Amino acid sequence: MNHDYNKEALLLHKEFQGKIETGLKVPLANREDLSRAYTPGVAEVCREIARDPSLAYEYTLKRNTVAIVTDGSAILGLGNLGPKAAIPVMEGKAAILKSFAGVDAFPICLDTQDTEEIIKAVKQLSPVFGAINLEDIAAPRCFEIEERLRAELDIPVMHDDQWGAGTVSLTAVINSINLRGITKDEVKVVINGIGAAGVATARLLLAYGIKNILFCDTKGMIHKGRIELTKEKKELLAASSLGGHEGTLEDALMGAHVFIGLSKPNVLTKEMIKKMAERPIIFALANPTPEIMPEDAHTAGAFIVATGRSDYPNQINNSLVFPGLFRGALDAQIKQFDIMLFVKIAIALAEYVKEPKVDEILPSMFDKGVVDVVKNCVMR
């Protein structure tokens, strides 16, 4: 059956007027119920928390609640659409957290794209929440916002466009190169698109031990001769064993084993793939339209193809990571995430796929065991 998911999504959202709602844990059927849940009884709960603020985890929703914070500046692959247009995506993430991991989450769509204002707003809202999920905030501001909030808050903060995407990409790389029969010391990777997801993916590959990486952006290959490089791009160049030199994406792909696209639609051609190493691995992750369509990549000789789409095999989707990550973070009340935790999660997810195949390099996001795999990595 052919689906017009755009039309179906509009009908769904209009019918239900969104995807989430608040619910009650306690009854409010009579005066006694109200006296315990609200005044006068609630005053004693307030006094106890004022005496010991850590009791907020025992007496309130804080223990199981995540703020999904965006400024609407980088929504999916659609760009800067603003905070109201971001609401459906943030609602969707909240729905996934609740359905997959039992985590309560709420969209916080801020009407500002000023770094200092975003940091201030999140800090002021943080007492209610047990963790912060930053989402769809454009680079390079997203790096500073996450770094500052991690340093200044006592609850874990993750920009999912970076670490969710990067962790699943690393999982896919691990199983793909194993199927291809090449080691992490031998593999040559080209990452196209050095924004939020591209930087985090590169950092995770490097932390895992893959050092032969070339980086490309809209101006071609990143190299030391370019004077406008951000701090993040300079750090990646210094960490790669290949460094960088002048040239185009096509130049970078010569003899490469893996292409990871986190960029724009239709920037990869069949001719480029044919210049890569034999049986190349193609991750075309621009969403909703990838850098090359899977059927075209296979025609050009690709061994494994992955996209960000659910209508093709090998969907690289953050939903494999963030439900279990926040479930574990809330249960363990950890203070912060670090890069080696994400590497550990990627390895665990790769190992969870008992018999990887060219069209099955990742576990299904609907596999109920995935949340536990990720959660256990956080809690150990």
d(CA 98, CA 349): 21
Tokens representing residue 265 in the block: 């639609």
Active site (annotated) includes residue 7: no
Q: How many CB atoms lie within 10 A of CB 91?
A: 19
Active site (annotated) includes residue 38: yes
- CA 194 vs CA 76, 80, 139, 159, 162: distances in Å: 15, 17, 9, 15, 11
The β-bridge relationship of strands 258-261 and 220-221 is unpaired
User: Is 161 within 8 Å of 137 (Cβ atoms)?
Assistant: yes
Q: Tell me the CA end-to-end span of the chain in Å, nearest whole number.
A: 44
**Active-site position among 38, 84, 224, 231:** 38
Tokens representing residue 251 in the block: 């130049």
**Active-site position among 57, 62, 84, 93:** 93
Q: Give Cα 238 to chain centroid, integer Å.
A: 25
d(CA 301, CA 256): 13
Give catalytic residues, as residue numbers: 38, 93
